[in-house]
Structure formats: C-alpha cells, structure tokens
C-alpha cells in the first residue's frame, strides 16, 4: 500500500451524465477511506492544469459532496484543451510560444505535489493523462493516472459500459416521448430523431429501446388515433449497419401510406461517409474539431436523411429533432450513479496501490472491473449490431438487419 498524500481530479471533453456524480463519488470515497488525503480539482480540465487553477476540496465540500449527484454537466468545468494541440494552447494563452504544454502540465502537477491524477473524460482525455504519466516517469516523478470512461457513445475499447450512456439513452427516449406527438401535426409527417454519437450507433439503438419500453407501458385507443403503430419507431439507422436506401424507402413508404407518419432514429454519424464524400466531391471543406474529429454539428446527417427519405417515402413535412444536448447535459439516473460509484470506489482502491489505468469492465477479461492498461484504451468501438436486444428490436419494428459496416474514425 502506497497511500497518496494529494490527489487531483479533472474532467474534459464533451458533457455526459456522469461527470458531476463521478467528482462527488471520488470526493466521498477518499473522505470516507482517508480524510487526510488532500484533494484538488483543476478548473475546466487541462486548461486549469496548465494555468495551475484549481479548487481546493474543503471540509464543507466533503460534507456536502452528495449534492453533486443531483447535477448534470461538470461543476468544475470542462474544456476541449488538448496538451498535444500546441497551436491551440498558445492561441488560448495557456502556454507561451516555445513551451511544451505537456511539460507545463507536468511541472504544475509536481508543483502541486499531486501523487494521483483522476481524469474523467473520453478516450483522448484519458490517454493524454497517460502520456503525462509516461513523461513524468522519465523524470522519475511517480504520478499515478486513473481514468474514468466518460462517454454517452459507449464506444471505448475494451470497456463494457461507459459512464453516462444509460442516462443519455433514457433522457433521449423521454425527449422523443414528447416530440413524437408531432406525428400528425401535418399529414404524411416524417420525424427524424437525430441522436448524438460520432461513429457509434450504441446510443441511437439504446435510445430507441428505452423509448419502446415507454410505449410498452402506455395504453392505446386506436379507434380515435391513439395507435401505437403511429407512435412506433419505424427505422433505426446506425453507422455500423449498411442501409439499403431503396429497400428501406419502399418499406417506409408503405408505413407512411398506412399510418400517415414515419419516425426514424438516426445516429449523428449514420451515413456521414456518404455525406462527406458528397461534400468533398463538391470541393467543400469538411469542418473538424480540436481532436481532428469531423465536427458533426456542422455536417447534418439528420437533415440529409430527411431530404433523401422525405422524397422517396412521399413525406409531406419533415421535422428533424436533436435530443443531444438535452440528453448529455442531464444529471445521472440511479443505474449510472451505481455504475459510477462502482468505478470510483475501485479508482480509490487503485490509487492506494498506485495502479494506473482506466477503470472499467474489461471485455477482454470476462468483464472484470479493473484498471485497464492505458495502451489498450481506444475510442471508436463500433456498436455490435448482433447484440440480442438490437436484433430483437429490429424484428419488432419490421426492419431487416443490414450487413456490418466498418466505420472509419
């Protein structure tokens, strides 16, 4: 046992319904296991680390840390700052010209006397921290880095379930339970529910499943229009599954003719390759974010599906609805609160053993919860379209399962 004297916490990347609860769980666990261990939280992720700007976790914060489970987002703040994006760090005034952000960050950790750094973020956030540890190791500064896998996409190798994804699916389902009522605000209505998720369809599929659970619990009265057939999910399109547009358009035109509306759930990243190809063919520049990912907000597959399908299925009106921010900024539901706590409690255990890695249920180790070695952590895990509940759902909505598609990241 090599008990840390001082630990730091930082959150980074986009929001997910787990950041606040994860901060709360870590503070609560350290406080109940050994309140003598100092805790600081860097403000706005790596920005705060570079500037040496952090919250000191006072006794009052420790006593009231349970409040953090009731909030979404990250009270200590996120930012898209990446230590390897030197140009961006300079532009933001976080480092001087000629400085290496990684060196500045490392020095700050040493200056702050941090033994263990807990990062709550996506694969890029966690691997950036691992690089820091490696950097410091060369200067024999023993920094232990323990990551918690935050992403609503649930697309991190080899992690069975990432933090916040369940809540995002449940919130997206509740979002659609409201907006679906637009199905007959206009005859022959197409509603496109665009669900967040760059290159992974897990959230889209899980949101559709959660929404159909809500339909299972409703009572219907088709004689006066309360007909499950019109409230149903008619199509689920994920990047990992080939879409035979002609066949699907034919199937969905029949649905339109029958129930005068069509509701489809579409991954933000479904069909992106086709759209990007179309844009590049027209010589248009494809927008990318600080991490080099295609800036999906600017590329609008939902709108593209609306147009492509709207005409082919004879829709009179199209409504495109994005549940992204509503879902990802929510507070954690009870299942995620327990999953987060499972990981945070082990994270503190590992801190005492100075065991680095990303805490998660290791799919290559019988789903055992452990500190997964950083080198094995990778984003872009595709949604497995052979997952039983997905196969069952497609059958339930009469959609044939397309072939598996390799999604590029």
**Residues identified as active-site:** 153
326 annotated to a ligand binding site = yes
Piece in contact with a copy of itself (CB under 8 A), picked from 135-143, 172-180, 203-211, 374-382: 172-180
For position 234 contacting a copy of itself by CB under 8 A, the verdict is no
For position 118 contacting a copy of itself by CB under 8 A, the verdict is no
Site for a copy of itself in 361-400 (CB under 8 A): 361, 366-369
For position 93 contacting a copy of itself by CB under 8 A, the verdict is no
Which position among 75, 314, 380, 402 is part of the footprint of a copy of itself (CB under 8 A)? 75
Looking at beta carbons only, is 353 or 401 nearer to a copy of itself? 353
| CB 138, min distance to a copy of itself, A | 31
Across 251-349, the runs of DSSP E, i.e. the strands, are 261-267, 317-322
Which of 151, 369, 144, 182 has its CA nearest to residue 260? Answer: 182
140 annotated to a ligand binding site = no
Query: Is 85 in contact with 48 (CB distance < 8 Å)?
Result: no
Query: Is 118 in contact with 374 (CB distance < 8 Å)?
Result: no
For position 91 contacting a copy of itself by CB under 8 A, the verdict is no
Tokens of 406: 């390799």
279 annotated to a ligand binding site = no
386 annotated to a ligand binding site = no
Site for a copy of itself in 281-310 (CB under 8 A): none
Binding mask 244-263 for a copy of itself (x = CB under 8 A): ----------------x---
| CB 101, min distance to a copy of itself, A | 16
Residue 370's SS3 state is: strand
- Element housing 362 (H / E): strand 357-362
Residue 322's SS3 state is: strand
196 annotated to a ligand binding site = yes
Size of the site for a copy of itself (CB under 8 A): 80
How many Cα atoms occupy the beta-carbon half-sphere of 355 within 13 Å? 14
Q: How far apart are CA 189 and CA 315, in angstroms?
A: 6
Piece in contact with a copy of itself (CB under 8 A), picked from 238-246, 248-256, 324-332, 400-408: 324-332
Binding mask 183-222 for a copy of itself (x = CB under 8 A): xxxxx-----------------------------xxxxx-
Which of 406, 365, 399 has its CA nearest to residue 383? Answer: 406
Q: How far apart are CA 137 and CA 111, in angstroms?
A: 15
Which position among 229, 277, 298, 334 is part of the footprint of a copy of itself (CB under 8 A)? 334
Query: Is 227 in contact with 215 (CB distance < 8 Å)?
Result: no
Binding mask 35-74 for a copy of itself (x = CB under 8 A): x-----x-xx--x-------x-xx-xx--xxxxxxxxxxx
273 annotated to a ligand binding site = no
| CB 45, min distance to a copy of itself, A | 10
Which of 366, 365, 355, 360 has its CA nearest to residue 378? Answer: 360
Across 189-330, the runs of DSSP E, i.e. the strands, are 189-195, 235-237, 261-267, 317-322
Largest CA distance in the chain: 75
Query: Is 46 in contact with 105 (CB distance < 8 Å)?
Result: yes
Instruction: Indicate the annotated binding residues for Mg(2+).
Output: 123
Instruction: Indicate the annotated binding residues for substrate.
Output: 151-153, 196-198, 268, 325-328
């Amino acid at each position: 046992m090599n008990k840390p004297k001082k630990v730091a916490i930082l959150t980074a990347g986009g929001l997910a319904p787990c950041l606040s609860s994860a901060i709360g769980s870590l503070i609560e666990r350290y406080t109940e296991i050994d309140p003598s261990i100092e805790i600081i939280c860097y403000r706005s992720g790596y920005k705060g680390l570079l500037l040496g700007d952090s919250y000191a976790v006072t006794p009052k914060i420790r006593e009231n840390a349970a409040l953090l489970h009731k909030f979404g987002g990250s009270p200590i703040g996120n930012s898209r700052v990446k230590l390897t994006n030197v140009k961006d760090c300079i532009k933001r005034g976080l480092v001087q010209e000629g400085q290496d952000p990684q060196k500045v960050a490392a020095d700050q950790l040493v200056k702050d006397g941090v033994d263990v750094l807990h990062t709550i973020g996506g694969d890029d956030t966690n691997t950036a921290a691992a690089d820091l540890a490696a950097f410091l190791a060369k200067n024999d500064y023993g920094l232990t880095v323990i990551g918690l896998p935050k992403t609503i996409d649930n697309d991190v190798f080899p992690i069975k379930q990432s933090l916040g994804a369940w809540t995002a699916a449940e919130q997206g389902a509740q979002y659609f339970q409201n907006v679906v009522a637009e199905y007959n605000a206009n005859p022959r209505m197409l509603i496109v529910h665009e669900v967040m998720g760059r290159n992974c369809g897990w959230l889209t599929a899980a949101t559709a499943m959660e929404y159909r659970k809500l339909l299972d619990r409703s009572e219907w009265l088709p004689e006066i229009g309360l007909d499950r057939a019109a409230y149903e999910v008619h199509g689920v399109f994920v990047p990992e599954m080939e879409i035979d547009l002609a066949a699907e358009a034919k199937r969905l035109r029949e649905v339109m003719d029958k129930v005068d509306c069509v509701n489809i759930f579409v991954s933000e990243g479904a069909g992106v390759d086709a759209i990007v190809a179309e844009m590049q063919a027209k010589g248009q520049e494809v927008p990318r974010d600080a991490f080099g990912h295609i800036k999906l907000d600017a590329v609008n597959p939902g709108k593209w599906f609306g147009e492509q399908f709207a005409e082919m299925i004879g829709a009179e009106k199209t409504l495109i609805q994005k549940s992204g921010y509503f879902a990802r900024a929510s507070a954690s539901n009870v299942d995620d609160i327990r999953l987060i706590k499972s990981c945070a409690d082990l994270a503190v255990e590992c801190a005492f053993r100075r065991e680095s890695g990303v805490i998660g249920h290791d799919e290559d180790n019988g789903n055992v919860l452990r500190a997964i070695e950083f080198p094995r952590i990778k984003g872009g895990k595709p949604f497995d379209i052979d997952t039983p509940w997905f196969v069952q759902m497609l059958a339930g909505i009469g959609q044939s399962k397309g072939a598996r598609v390799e999604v590029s990241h």
